[in-house]
Amino acid sequence: MSRPAIAHVRLDAFRHNYRVAKHMHGGKALAVIKANAYGHGAVQCAKAIDGEADGFAVACLEEALQLRQAGIKNPILLLEGFFEAAELPEIVANDLWIVIHAEWQIEILLKAKLTKPLYVWLKMDSGMHRVGLNYMAYEQAFISLSGHVNVKEIVLMSHFANADNLKSEHTLQQIEIFKKVTQNLAANEVSLSNSAAILGWPQSYKSWSRPGIMLYGADPLYDTKTPLRAVMQLTSQIISIRMVHKGESIGYGSIFIADKETIVGVVACGYADGYPRAATSAPATVDGKTTKLIGRVSMDMLFVDLTGIPNAKVGSTVELWGDQVLANDVAKAAGTIAYELFCNTKRVQFKYSDN
């Protein structure tokens, strides 16, 4: 038997979630599949919806070329545009859309000799202060790009810093600034909403949405009633069972000390697979029954408490996240977010299904 740690990626769930996102927001939806589709496999995910996706978004040219080489014909947006002028010929040749987020990019674009004009998403910094043109310089940037021979069309865009916090006023302030600055600009296409905004901020709805994490089934608002399906199910098996007596410890650092006779299952999955080492008491299921991790997560193995699961045996299936165990809950136990768990998943076998 080979090592039983498996990431099952259900492409039908990915497609379902894309439809949920698009329907909820209305308008067109750019499926964000940067970083290898948040660790799920960009080509597989793109192919699962290439017949219906309005477009895809990735982080860089290399990620876009991987999709083009796999035969993906849909529009693809580079979320940070180009990093140097030398990328422009390939961007044009592969029909990619670019974000323009900085003055230096505008200078390069205006001077470049392109064989075709580019489709530009002009990004405003409306309050996140990461990338994007300062909102006071935005109108001028729009004017210098619109009508230029290198620019085919301009989509107005901005990104939220706190859309996952429904109590924060920040999102409304960003929407307000964006509205003020863009109200006189002659543009037909506008995009503000990431997943959290699609789920929580209908005031942000414009012609394009940019769902990411919700496509993978994790609700950034932690609302368990959202009709999303988990795409990745990370499972492994119990490879050893032992009894520890009161006062005995298990694993590195002996951080778990039994306060009673405890049955411990050793599971073939560890932090080298991307399972977070910090998730020392995260939930897991064994043959469908809920339990939790105990002791330190090690590189290749982790421990689960089998005390309440007398039928568990070597070979029992352990779900680490997926349908029974929310990736959000494991992330919370580790002090991180589901995004990071998915992106970090590696070494395990990836098995794809589409029903």
Comparing C-alpha atoms, which of 289, 223, 290, 281 is closest to residue 256? 281
- We find the least distance from the C-beta atom of residue 195 to ligand PLP, in angstroms, to be 3
235 binds ligand PLP (CB under 6 A): no
Nearer to ligand PLP, 34 or 40 (CB): 34
230 binds ligand PLP (CB under 6 A): no
User: Contact region for ligand PLP (CB under 6 A) — 81-89, 189-197, 224-232, 252-260?
Assistant: 189-197
Q: Is 275 a catalytic residue?
A: no
Q: What is the residue-wise DSSP string for 113-145? A: --SS-EEEEEEEESS--SSSEEHHHHHHHHHHH
Comparing C-alpha atoms, which of 104, 90, 49 is closest to residue 73? 49
Chain length of the chain: 355
216-236 burial code (b ≥16 CB/10 A, e <16):
bbbbbbeeeebebbbbbbbbb
328 binds ligand PLP (CB under 6 A): no
79 binds ligand PLP (CB under 6 A): yes
Q: Which residue in 13, 58, 106, 213 binds ligand PLP (CB under 6 A)?
A: 213
175 binds ligand PLP (CB under 6 A): no
Q: Which residue in 127, 132, 211, 274 binds ligand PLP (CB under 6 A)?
A: 211
325 binds ligand PLP (CB under 6 A): no
22 binds ligand PLP (CB under 6 A): no
Residue whose beta carbon is closest to ligand PLP: 212
For tokens 């650092």, name the residue. 253
Phi/psi of residue 70, nearest 5 degrees: -85, 0
Q: Give residue 172's identity as a one-letter amino acid code.
A: L
Q: Is 252 a catalytic residue?
A: yes
212 binds ligand PLP (CB under 6 A): yes
- The token pair at 154 is 């301009």
Q: How many Cα atoms occupy the beta-carbon half-sphere of 282 within 13 Å?
A: 31
Q: Which residue in 17, 195, 235, 236 binds ligand PLP (CB under 6 A)?
A: 195
Applying CB under 6 A, the site for ligand PLP has a residue count of 12
81 binds ligand PLP (CB under 6 A): no
Using alpha carbons only, give the angle 70, 75, 80 rounded to the nearest 5 degrees.
95
Residue numbers of the site for ligand PLP (CB under 6 A)?
Answer: 32, 34, 79, 159, 194-196, 210-213, 220
| Residues tagged active-site | 34, 252
